[in-house]
Amino acid sequence: MMTTTTKEDILIEALPYIQRYEGKTFVIKYGGAAMTDLDLQESFAKDVTLLKKIGINIIIVHGGGKAITDLSGKLGLETRFHNGHRYTDSETLSSVVMTLVGTTNKDIVRLINRNGGSAVGLSGMDGGLLRARKFLFNGIDLGFVGEVESVNTKFIELLLSNGSIPVIAPVGVGADGEMYNINADLAAASIASALNAEKLFYMTDTEGILIDGELIPTLTSDKAKQYIAAGTIAGGMVPKVQTSFDAIEKGVKKVHIINGTALHSILLEIFTNVGVGTQIIKSEKPAQPIPRVREKKEDFLDFSELTRQGLYELFHLADKLRKELELRPLAGKSISLIFQKPSLRTRISFEVGIAQLGGIPIVLNNETIGLGVRESAHDVAKVLSRYNDAIIARVFDHSLLTDLASNASVPVVNALSDLLHPCQILADVYTLYEQNLLRPGMKIVFIGDGNNVANSWIEFAGIFPMHFVLAAPEGFEPDPSIMQKAIAAGISTIEILRNPVEAARNADVLYTDVWTSMGQEEEKSKRIAAFEGFTISEDLLQIASPECVVMHCLPAHRGEEITDEAITGVQSVIFEQAENRLHIQKALLCSLFGADEGLQLRRFPADATTEYEKTTTTIPA
């Protein structure tokens, strides 16, 4: 049975790909055993329906060679091939049309629709979808065999905009009205090229491209040409690979040759980091090397070294990394993750992020190393610096972090301490930026305990101008030294109020955290009593700005610091915050390593007003 952790890993790994490909166009050439095995047919129908449901435009071009051969045999027709192309006389053409257009096409449509899709069956003749001309293979006349001259993309785009999945039989029509049988691989490539498709898939009866019996996960055009010239790629795979080259040259981003005899092979190829087949690309981006070793290692324990300029550069880097998942700027780097406290978002976001960047995450729980008990922070820092390229730590006592940073020769990142949680706030402000809500002068209202998250918000107010209000009962104030430093910066208004209703008035953001954090369980009843009336609810939202968003760093104690309705309501961006831990932390790691300098980033002058700041509100000190 699949464990919960495994399911979480799968979903988290798939999420960036789902976001990346929403609205993109995939063309799938469907053929081979996948069309004849009942289980594979069902799997394929479910896969393409799912892809369409999550916002990917799907176009299917199908073959049907075996069915054509079977029908031709029953009709007493001779079947002839020349280099993989079927010789098609007038009688064979009738067999092709009857099979592809009349039977196979409708079976595929019926199966997809039965599984919840909205498929529309077509042939290349419908609406002038595929304008064809006679195809001569090396000067040899193959009868009524054609090649695509043009594609009616407007017709296809109309169907896609209506939520349909076009299922296309590769029979085209010439300028003189003559019908032509078109090789399904060539038809799929022509359609993908005309639409500048993101991906073109060829479903075959092999794993992909095999070299000396080994699957090649990624193959560049130049390397594939070398293999063909050497005879390493041979037989029926040659025209498929050559067709892939042509499609890429004409605008298709990637071509995938995958095993159609494996269940859900399309989903595995699209939504996993490893994939299951061979992808053919124009040229492979090399792993981005670290361009130089910095003279002084940089830690990230708090916001003391962060500037507004640096903040915008992190945003830009996060945007780039979430779109270009093939970049591997941390290739060859290993990073230790120390967890004194249990973790979901922090652990998964860092572990997945490091792996996506090409690095190796090494997770160490408290039982493994006994930080500060079994071994001192000094010794742990010295040892891990010799094994790893960075240390990320989630600890109780903030002094353990400062001890690690003082003694490590590699960057140390604060993934949470009892004093500060800067990675969470980076994700929060990145979420506001992503929602076009981050602007100078905005009112951030934190309702709850003056804990590590509140401290980091106050620290952030020392570098970004805002009106920050903490609504908390007496005895639950933030760290006074952090307050004093932020106030001394003189760019934000910072208040502590005792009345959450007064605090929430005209708020742009209502933010909360649990009232009882890990390690404070004995104080739970006392804290619940003290925070009575401090729950973020629909009533409190009515007092805030109409555009106010609700934020929570999670985990949440529903019904205590926040109601179910506030968490799941339209004003909530809570789960966007959780996702953005992944993206902004990837950018942070690249920045600490100096890898950002090899990624062609935009630099923001320190005194420049950027497009991220739409207003110039002045905040009184």
- Of 423, 548, 553, 590, which is the active-site residue? 553
Is 571 assigned a catalytic role?
no
Is 513 assigned a catalytic role?
yes
CA-wise closest residue to 237 among 251, 262, 219, 252:
219
Three-class SS state of 81: strand
Helix, strand and coil content of the chain, in percent to the nearest 5, comes to 40, 20, 35
* Cβ-Cβ contacts under 8 Å for 502 (sequence gap 6 or more): 471
Look at the alpha carbons of 528, 532, 536, 537 in this order and tell me if their dihedral is positive or negative: positive
Q: For residue 257, what are its two tokens?
A: 């040759």
Three-class SS state of 30: strand
- Of 131, 328, 394, 583, which is the active-site residue? 394
- Of 340, 424, 577, 585, which is the active-site residue? 424
Q: Provide φ and ψ at 197, rounded to 5°.
A: -65, 150
3-state secondary structure 569-611: CCCECHHHHHHHHHHHHHHHHHHHHCHHHHCCCCCCCCCCCCC
Is 435 assigned a catalytic role?
no
Q: Determine how β-strand 85-86 pairs with β-strand 81-82.
A: antiparallel
Cα–Cα distance list, 86 to 142, 143, 250, 294 (Å)? 7, 9, 26, 63
Angle in degrees, 0-180, between the axes of helices 480-489 and 452-460, rounded to the nearest 10: 20
Angle at 572 between CA 576 and CA 418, to 5 degrees: 65
- Of 322, 345, 467, 581, which is the active-site residue? 581
Is 39 assigned a catalytic role?
no
- Of 256, 316, 328, 421, which is the active-site residue? 421
Is 421 assigned a catalytic role?
yes
- Check if the beta carbon of residue 526 is closer than 8 Å to that of residue 413: no
Q: What is the C-alpha R_g of the chain?
A: 30
* Cβ-Cβ contacts under 8 Å for 115 (sequence gap 6 or more): 42, 45, 46, 49
Distance separating alpha carbons of residues 128 and 300, to the nearest angstrom: 60
Residues known to be catalytic? 394, 421, 424, 513, 553, 581
